[in-house]
Amino acid sequence: MPATLRDVAELAQVSVRTVSNVVSGYEHVSERMRQKVLRAIEELDYRANPVARTLRTGRTGMLALVVPEIAVPYFSELARDVIDAAAAFGYRVMIDQTGNDHERERQLLRGDDRTMLFDGILFSPLVTKAELLEMRGATTMPMVLLGEHEFDGRYDHVAIDNVQAARDAVAHLIAIGRTRIAAIGTQPDEEYATPLQRTAGYEAALAEADLESPPGFTVPAARYSRTDGYEAAAALMSRSPRPDAIFCFSDLLAMGAMRAVFDAGLRVPDDVAVIGVDDIEEGHFSRPSLSTVSLDTPFIAREAVRRLTARIEDPEVAAEEVIAEHRLVVRESTAGGE
């Protein structure tokens, strides 16, 4: 017969409550007491009953991470870091994706038919600020927003300074002597914060250097994929004069852009320097290796989980905005070494 909490408590000579606190990851248990309980758990081969815990506490020990596309390397790397961060707080993570579907995002924001599955949600939506306002009061599920949305004080929010990240990338291109700098990744028909903010940073860096973006040098990308980057850069390579540098709003766009430059018979970075944003692992090993703006996903994950667990414990805790730092990583695609 499987061991119970009471069995563990009797062997460790502690209370059932103490065993429950250790199993639940409660912080305020002395290390001596925790070790006694852990030894008893190992000796009895105790396995927690998640159904019983849910009935007893009203919690599942599960968090949800919802992203637009798990196949995008940035989101898969973020998912890995969230799983690690959640484990430190005693939680497991279920991952879902919206497929860039606004209606699916609305359903998740409302908690339709899913509220009892999770204790809280880490959500990286593409919905606009106006759509978020429509969701006011739609769900009581503890939630932390990820991504570059305009923060209005109602939700906990962990993000980066997208404007400054883009400005830093373009300032680097200017610093290495490039003057005809194109951008790939605008989305003029959408109100998503990320492309708007990165466009603003691109334009600000040019203005600070008294440079202009010639007509046709800001190229939209429906999705931040290699294919979109390739097609956008191929169009840029056919222009006269062509750009001598390209700022891509994601590393995947940059990967596609570099291939288009090569296919046009040109060289990176000699003829066209290329820089991205995200610092995905693929960029370390591309040839040339990709210069990028590195986003601190472990920090983003830790802060998001920290805020979510705090809100689970106290739903009335004040919302907080956390801005993660970023750093410029110079590699071969802008004439820098590894």
Q: Residue 188 to residues 23, 191, 197, 221, 300: CA-CA distances in angstroms?
A: 50, 8, 12, 9, 28
- Is pTM beyond 0.85? Reply is no
CA 236 to chain CA centroid, Å, is: 29
Say if CB 15 and CB 9 are below 8 A apart. Answer: yes
Per residue in 278-337, pLDDT (tens digit) is: 999 999 999 999 999 999 999 999 999 999 988 888 888 888 889 999 999 999 999 854
CA atoms within 13 A on the CB side of 115: 11
**Sign of the CA dihedral running 156, 159, 163, 168:** positive
How do 291-295 and 326-329 pair as beta strands? Answer: antiparallel
Per 3-state DSSP, the chain is made up of helix, strand and coil in percentages (nearest 5) of: 45, 15, 40
Which is higher by pLDDT, 244 or 38?
A: 244
Say if CB 198 and CB 164 are below 8 A apart. Answer: no
Q: What pLDDT is recorded for position 226?
A: 95
pLDDT at 163 exceeding the cut of 80: yes
Token pair belonging to 136: 């006011």
Locate tokens 């103490």: which residue? 18
Q: What are the structural domains of the chain?
A: 5-48 (1.10.260.40), 62-160+296-324 (3.40.50.2300), 162-295+328-334 (3.40.50.2300)
Which is higher by pLDDT, 228 or 51?
A: 228
| 139 vs 166: CA distance, rounded Å | 34
| 137 vs 269: CA distance, rounded Å | 51
**Sign of the CA dihedral running 255, 276, 244, 190:** positive
